[in-house]
């Protein structure tokens, strides 16, 4: 049988007495593009960190291609097929954009330090890095250092670096945040195109407009609890989802 | 009886460590700099204390003048040495600070000679008999009392006065404080003034206990105070005080009981390493 | 001639020692304030073996292995603590080393081990060995810098967390940097013991650790040739500046401070900037 690409089941995270994520479950199948939305404080970033292995969940599990990720460190999860573009851009500052991406392209060479020690050739990786930079529209900037580049460039760099890892699943953490309208919709188009090429993507995003435009399905989380999961239009027109966004706090009266 | 005596020795030493390390913590909290040259200010305080006492005959006057002068020197160190380095990677300031410390040790040696200075008529040499066979030198009692008084005054200042509250806010969270309109530049000066003045007081007290100041008296202070603030959790004032006492007492007992295995300095660092392996963020450090 | 031989030998040992720290701090970005401890382990290892009539060349690998084992332990510690905490932990290592050595009878205690037998190579031959080893390690460093391992080191020095997100096993690479760097320091220690025919606890303390760190930073952190030049110069500076004997440490402190204040990227940085200027002009 074939496994879904990613299966998050009943994940709960507590920080001290606060429950940040409460029984989150979601599934991504081959070729899907899922928008992961929710108001501020919904626990989106926390769940993302559970998936990447930065936070250990108190309950529940995360399966990638049917393989339990429990106990694997961040770098091992990346090797297992995850790739992440971070919300807060973190380029390697002393390297050009090309070098940033080429390093990720060389994942096979860097897997084992001793083979890294005796590998010198970077041509193939540089070529592929240039292709990827072209793909995200950064070809012109390939030989620049990140320090002086605008945020829009660095957001794309994050995406290119993640693609360089040849992932089975791409996690995008608010790639559109901080971008202006036209930059955002351009990057959203790129995300849609990447998915159209067959890459499954989980997109955490605040920009509902773009999410509704490009994502066929959404997963909504509110106050750490899963609220809805399904086709975008259907979910986003549900009263409780609208309430969560409008009222900010659906459970205020009940608690 | 031996236990009690060792405990007191540890507390005396711990008080001195606390006075020295507090300034380091303040600087670290605000600027994220490991201020090794702080120990040179401690030495300077000791020298001024001895020289002024010998000239005027008043230890109290010497202590006050020494604290004020060294406080200003501390501000100058910030202005001339650290301010230009704030935007550089942290190890740059660390090495600059070490260089400053090495150079100033030499300056003390060149100006005051290699053998050090002593009080002509050492003050406070008497002792209290607390009970049978247990003595506490006046100087040692002064160390404890003065440390408590100064720390209490600092506590009052930082919680009860307007200036003190903004100071504490800045040390805890510089960005937040400047967002609230606090002039962080002034706070930095104040920080260096207070921290350096406390180090000067410690210098005077150490000079009193040993009846000696010498060019290298700061070397112990330089690295052990670093160990203490790291042990306390870097930037945590309460952590620093606890760590200072802990190191003082551990050294005091350790030298007697396991001194044949490890010398005094190694003991402090052995403790530090064990703690850091268990709690990488230090005793009271925030994660 | 004897004076020149001593001078060159001293330089070569310092270059090897400084490059060994450069491997850890310059390449992999892990600061160490206690590197002299590893030189000390190597020096004591070689000294004791020499006393037991073991040939000098055999003491070199032994010194490297023992120093490397201690380096592995400190490397594991570096996985727990970061940045300033790591700096102070490594400083603790050197104080522990000195503190322990001082109390050990078989290591000569406070007095150290003197009267170490000379190798069979003579002064000139020994100088050649020192130069050879320093040169070999410099070449190895340059090779690593160009390899994919050097590429990964750059990324770890730049940002550990990003390296992890790019799938890099940061811990493994760090441990390798520590083992390689500390083993080389151990070799430098064996050479030191043979050069001075004496080892004592005070030869491998905190001050010596800072001195070698200063060589790395003055040279330009991570730059192989910059560090080599700085090490060569700084190691013989006290000898060259005998005429200002009283002020030589002051001069050293002042130089180091001035360097941090005005040229924190070291010799390598100064040269790179002036090359740029020259090129811009032509």
CB of A116 less than 8 A from some CB of C = yes
pLDDT value of residue C143: 96
Which residues of chain C lie closer than 8 angstroms to A119, CB-CB? Answer: 147-148
> CA angle, B84 as apex, B78 and B85 as ends, to 5°?
90
pLDDT value at residue B174: 72
| Residues of chain C found within 8 Å of residue A99, distances taken between Cβ atoms | 151
CA distance to B232, B238, C101, C219, C221, per residue, from B284 (Å): 6, 8, 32, 37, 33
SS3 string of B207-228?
HHHHCCECCCHHHHHHHHHHHH
Fill in the DSSP letter of residue A141. G
**Using only C-alpha atoms, what is the Rg of chain B?**
19
**For residues C39 and C236, is the Cβ–Cβ distance under 8 A?**
no
Total domain count for chain C? 1
The CB-based long-range contact list for B134-143 (8 Å cut-off, 24+ gap) reads: B134/B1, B134/B4, B134/B5, B136/B8, B137/B209, B139/B205, B139/B208, B139/B209, B140/B8, B140/B12, B140/B209, B142/B205, B142/B208, B143/B12, B143/B15, B143/B16, B143/B205, B143/B208, B143/B209
**Helix B264-278 and helix C83-102: axis angle, to 10°?**
140
Query: Quick one: which H or E segment has residue C152?
Result: helix C148-158
**Which pLDDT does position B124 carry in this prediction?**
73
Contact A13, A46 (CB under 8 A): yes
User: A49 to chain C: which residues are within 8 Å by CB?
Assistant: none
Query: pLDDT tens across C205-236, in order?
Result: 888 898 899 899 889 888 999 999 999 988 88
Rounded CA-CA distance A36/A38 in Å is 7
Taking the Cβ of residue C149 and every Cβ of chain A, the question of whether any pair is shorter than 8 Å is answered with: yes
Tokens matching residue B213 = 């100041």
The whole-number pLDDT of residue A63 equals 92
Instruction: Tell me whether residue C84 is exposed, middle or buried, using C-beta atoms within 10 angstroms of its C-beta: 0 to 12, 13 to 18, 19 or more.
Output: buried
CB of C184 closer than 8 Å to CB of C32? no
Architecture of domain A6-81+167-254: 3-Layer(aba) Sandwich (3.40)
Give φ, ψ of B113 to 5 degrees.
85, 160
For C159, nearest residue in chain A (alpha carbons): A92
Give the separation between CA B259 and CA A180, rounded to whole angstroms: 66
Query: Rounded to an integer, what is the distance from CA C241 to the centroid of its chain?
Result: 23
In this predicted structure, the answer to whether residue C104 has a pLDDT above a threshold of 90 is no
Checking if the pLDDT of A249 tops 60, the result is: no
- CA torsion through residues B125, B129, B134, B139, sign: negative
Do A116 and C164 lie within an 8 Å CB cutoff?
no
User: Dihedral of CA C246/C206/B238/B143: which sign?
Assistant: negative
Distance CA B73, CA B80 (A): 10
What token pair was written down for C184?
């080389």
pLDDT per residue rounded down to tens, chain B (287 residues): 678 788 888 888 888 898 888 888 888 878 888 888 999 999 999 999 999 999 998 888 999 999 999 999 999 999 998 988 888 877 788 889 988 998 898 899 989 888 888 888 777 777 777 666 677 788 888 888 888 888 888 888 878 888 788 877 777 777 777 777 777 788 888 889 998 999 999 999 888 888 888 888 888 778 888 889 888 887 778 888 889 999 999 888 888 887 777 777 788 888 888 888 888 888 877 65
Percentage with pLDDT > 70 across chain C: 97
Structural domain including C59 reads 2-281
When scoring C23, C149, C158, C167 by the number of chain A Cβ atoms within 10 A, the one with the most, hence best to mutate, is C167
Instruction: Identify whether the C-beta of residue B9 lies closer than 8 Å to the C-beta of residue B16.
Output: no
pLDDT at C17: 97
Q: Judge whether B213 and B117 are in contact, CB under 8 Å.
A: yes
Please name which of A222, A225, A173, A205 lies closest in space to residue A42, comparing C-alpha atoms.
A222
Domain containing residue C70: CATH number: 1.10.3470
Q: Please list, in sequence order, all residues whose beta carbon lies within 8 angstroms of the beta carbon of residue A18, skipping any fewer than 6 positions away.
A: none
Nearest to A120 among C146, C159, C165 (CB): C146
Instruction: Look at residue B114 in the predicted model and tell me its pLDDT.
Output: 84
d(CA B114, CA B108): 8
From C87, C99, C254, residue closest to B103, measured CB to CB: C254
Block residue for tokens 């260096």: B192
Nearest by CB to C81, which of B34, B95, B280?
A: B280
Identity of the highest mean pLDDT range in A187-191, B170-174, B213-217, C243-247: A187-191
Per-chain mean pLDDT for chain A: 88
For C88, the closest of B84, B230, B265 (CB atoms) is B230
What tokens appear for A111 in the block?
A: 């897997």
C204: exposed, middle or buried (Cβ count in 10 Å: 0-12, 13-18, 19+): buried
**Is A touching B (3+ C-beta pairs, cut-off 8 A)?**
no
Computed on alpha carbons and rounded to an integer, the radius of gyration of chain A in Å comes to 19
Residue A1 has pLDDT above 60, yes or no: no
* Confidence class for position C242, pLDDT limits 50, 70, 90: low
Instruction: Please give the pLDDT value at position B11.
Output: 87
**Eight-class DSSP state of C88:** H
Which chains touch A (3+ CB pairs under 8 A)? C
pLDDT at C56 over 90: yes
Q: How far apart are CA A182 and CA A174, in angstroms?
A: 16
**Longest CA span, chain A:** 64
Residue C255 has a pLDDT of: 83
Give the mean pLDDT of C149-159: 94
Taking the Cβ of residue C158 and every Cβ of chain A, the question of whether any pair is shorter than 8 Å is answered with yes
Which residues from C are below 8 Å from B83, CB to CB? none
Q: Binning pLDDT at 50, 70 and 90, where does residue C135 land?
A: very high
Distance CA B189, CA B78 (A): 7
pLDDT in tens, A27-50: 999 989 999 988 877 888 889 889
**What's the CA gap between C232 and C213, in Å, rounded?**
14
For C139, counting Cβ atoms within 10 Å of its Cβ (0-12 exposed, 13-18 middle, 19+ buried), the class is exposed
Q: What is the pLDDT of residue A254?
A: 35
Written as six digits, the tokens of C27 are 């390449």
- Does residue A149 sit at the C interface (CB-CB below 8 Å)? no
- The pLDDT of residue B277 is 85
Task: Say whether pLDDT at C273 is over 80.
Answer: yes
Which value, in Å, is the radius of gyration of the alpha carbons in chain C? 19
- Tell me the C-alpha to C-alpha distance, in Å, between residue B181 and each of B75, B86, B169, B170: 22, 21, 11, 11
Contact B206, B196 (CB under 8 A): no
Contact A116 C151 (CB under 8 A): yes
Q: Is the pTM of this model over 0.95?
A: no
Give the whole-angstrom CA distance, residue B19 versus residue B148.
10
Structure confidence at residue C282 (pLDDT): 58
The pLDDT confidence band at residue A255, using thresholds 50, 70 and 90, is very low
Within 8 A of C253 by CB-CB distance, chain B residues are 99-104, 106
pLDDT of res. B78: 92
- DSSP per-residue codes, chain B: -HHHHHHHHHHHHHHHHHHHHHHHHHHHHHH----TTHHHHHHHHHHHHHHHHHHHS-HHHHHHHHHHHHHHHHHHHIIIIIGGGTTS-HHHHHHHHHHHHHHHHHHHHHHH-TT-B--SS-S---EEEEETTEEEEHHHHHHHHHHHHHHHHHHHHHHHSHHHHHHHHHHH-HHHHHHTT--HHHHHHHHHHHHHHHHHHHHHHHHHHHT-B-TTHHHHHHHHHHHHHHHHTSS-HHHHHHHHHHHHHHHHHHHHHSTTTS-HHHHHHHHHHHHHHH-TT-SS---
Q: How far is C181 from chain B (nearest CA, A)?
A: 19
For residues B265 and C100, is the Cβ–Cβ distance under 8 A? Answer: no
> A229: helix, coil or strand?
strand
Nearest to C166 among A52, A103, A115 (CB): A103
Q: With the CA atoms of B228, B230, B233 and B238 taken in that order, what torsion angle do they form, in degrees rounded to the nearest 10?
A: 20
In C102-190, beta strands by DSSP E: 113-114
Residue A251: its pLDDT value, please?
47
- Cross-chain residue pair A117–C147, CB shorter than 8 Å: yes
Assess contact for B247 and B14: CB atoms under 8 A. Answer: yes
Looking at per-residue pLDDT, the higher value among A129 and C279 belongs to A129
Shortest Cα distance from A192 to chain C (angstroms)? 23
Q: Does an H or E element contain A219, and which?
A: strand A217-222
B205-237 burial string, b = 16+ CB within 10 Å, else e? Answer: bbbbbeebbbbebbbbbbbbbbbbbbbbbbbbb
Report how far residue A72's alpha carbon sits from residue A50's, in angstroms, rounded to the nearest whole number. Answer: 11
A74-118 pLDDT tens trace: 999 999 999 999 888 899 999 999 999 999 999 989 999 999 999
Does the beta-carbon distance from B262 to C99 stay under 8 Å? yes
Q: What is the DSSP letter of C22?
A: I
Helix (H) or strand (E) holding A83: strand A82-85
């Amino acid at each position: 049988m074939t496994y879904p690409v990613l299966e998050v089941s009943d994940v709960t995270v507590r920080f001290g007495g606060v429950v940040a994520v409460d029984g989150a479950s979601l599934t991504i199948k081959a070729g899907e593009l899922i928008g992961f939305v929710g108001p501020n404080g919904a626990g989106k970033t926390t769940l993302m960190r559970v998936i990447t292995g930065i936070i250990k969940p108190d309950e529940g599990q995360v399966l990638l291609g049917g393989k339990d990720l429990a106990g694997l460190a961040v770098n091992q999860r990346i090797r297992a097929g995850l790739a992440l573009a971070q919300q807060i851009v973190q380029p390697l500052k002393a390297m050009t954009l090309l070098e940033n991406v080429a390093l990720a392209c060389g994942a096979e060479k860097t897997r084992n330090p001793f083979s890294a020690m005796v590998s010198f050739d970077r041509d193939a990786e540089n070529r592929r890095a240039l292709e990827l930079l072209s793909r995200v529209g950064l070809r012109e900037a390939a030989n620049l250092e990140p320090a002086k580049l605008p945020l829009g460039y660095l957001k794309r760099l994050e995406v290119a670096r993640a693609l360089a890892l040849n992932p089975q699943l791409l996690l995008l953490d608010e790639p559109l945040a901080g971008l202006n309208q036209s930059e955002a919709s351009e990057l959203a188009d790129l995300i849609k195109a990447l998915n159209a090429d067959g890459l499954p993507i989980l997109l955490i995003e605040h920009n509902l407009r773009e999410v509704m435009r490009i994502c066929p399905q959404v997963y909504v989380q509110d106050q750490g609890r899963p609220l809805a999961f399904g086709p975008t239009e259907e979910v986003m027109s549900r009263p409780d989802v609208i309430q969560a966004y409008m009222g900010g706090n659906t459970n205020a009266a009940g608690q | 009886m031996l236990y009690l005596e060792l405990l007191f020795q540890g507390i005396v030493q711990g008080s001195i460590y606390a006075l020295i390390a507090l300034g380091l913590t303040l600087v670290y909290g605000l600027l994220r700099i490991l201020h090794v040259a702080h120990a040179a200010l401690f030495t300077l305080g000791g020298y001024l204390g001895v020289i002024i006492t010998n000239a005027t005959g008043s230890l109290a006057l010497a202590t006050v003048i020494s604290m004020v002068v060294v406080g200003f020197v501390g501000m100058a160190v910030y202005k001339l040495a650290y301010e230009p380095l704030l935007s550089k990677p942290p190890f740059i300031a660390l090495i600059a600070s070490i260089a400053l410390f090495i150079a100033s040790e030499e300056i003390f040696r060149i100006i005051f000679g290699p053998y050090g200075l002593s009080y002509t008529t050492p003050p406070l040499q008497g002792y209290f008999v607390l009970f049978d066979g247990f003595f506490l030198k006046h100087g040692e009692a002064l160390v404890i009392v003065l440390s408590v008084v100064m720390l209490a005054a600092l506590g009052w200042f930082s919680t009860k006065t307007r200036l003190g509250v903004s100071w504490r806010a800045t040390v805890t969270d510089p960005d937040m404080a400047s967002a609230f309109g606090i002039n962080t530049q002034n706070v930095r000066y104040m920080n260096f003034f207070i921290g350096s003045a406390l180090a000067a007081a410690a210098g005077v007290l150490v000079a009193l206990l040993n009846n000696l100041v010498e060019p290298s008296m700061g070397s112990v202070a330089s690295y052990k105070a670093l160990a203490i603030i790291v042990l306390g959790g870097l930037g945590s004032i309460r952590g620093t005080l606890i760590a200072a006492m802990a190191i003082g007492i551990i050294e005091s007992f350790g030298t007697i009981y396991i001194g044949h295995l490890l010398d005094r300095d190694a003991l402090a660092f052995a403790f530090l390493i064990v703690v850091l392996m268990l709690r990488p963020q230090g005793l009271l450090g925030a994660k | 001639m004897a004076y020149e031989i001593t001078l060159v030998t001293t330089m070569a040992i310092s270059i090897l020692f400084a490059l060994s720290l450069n491997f850890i701090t310059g390449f992999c970005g892990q600061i160490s304030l206690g590197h002299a401890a590893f030189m000390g382990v190597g020096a004591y290892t070689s000294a004791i073996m020499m006393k037991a009539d073991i040939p000098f060349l055999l003491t070199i690998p032994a010194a490297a292995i023992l120093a490397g084992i201690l380096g592995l332990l400190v490397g594991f510690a570096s996985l727990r603590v970061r940045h300033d905490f790591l700096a102070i932990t490594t400083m603790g290592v050197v104080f522990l080393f000195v503190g322990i050595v001082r109390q050990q009878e078989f290591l000569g205690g406070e007095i150290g081990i003197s009267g170490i037998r000379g190798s069979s190579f003579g002064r000139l031959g020994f100088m050649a060995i020192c130069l050879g080893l320093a040169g070999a390690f410099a070449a190895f460093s340059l090779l690593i810098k160009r390899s994919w391992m050097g590429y990964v080191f750059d990324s770890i020095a730049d940002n550990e967390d990003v390296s992890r997100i790019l799938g890099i096993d940061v811990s493994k690479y760090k441990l390798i940097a520590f083992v390689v760097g500390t083993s080389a320091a151990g070799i430098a220690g064996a050479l030191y013991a043979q050069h001075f025919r004496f080892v004592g606890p005070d030869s491998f303390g905190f001050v010596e650790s800072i001195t070698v760190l200063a060589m790395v930073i003055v040279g330009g952190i991570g730059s192989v040739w910059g560090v080599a030049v700085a090490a060569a110069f700084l190691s013989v500076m006290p000898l060259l500046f005998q005429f200002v004997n009283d002020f030589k440490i002051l001069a050293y402190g002042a130089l180091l401070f001035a360097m941090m204040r005005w040229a924190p990227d070291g010799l390598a940085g100064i040269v790179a900037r002036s090359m740029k200027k020259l090129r811009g002009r032509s």
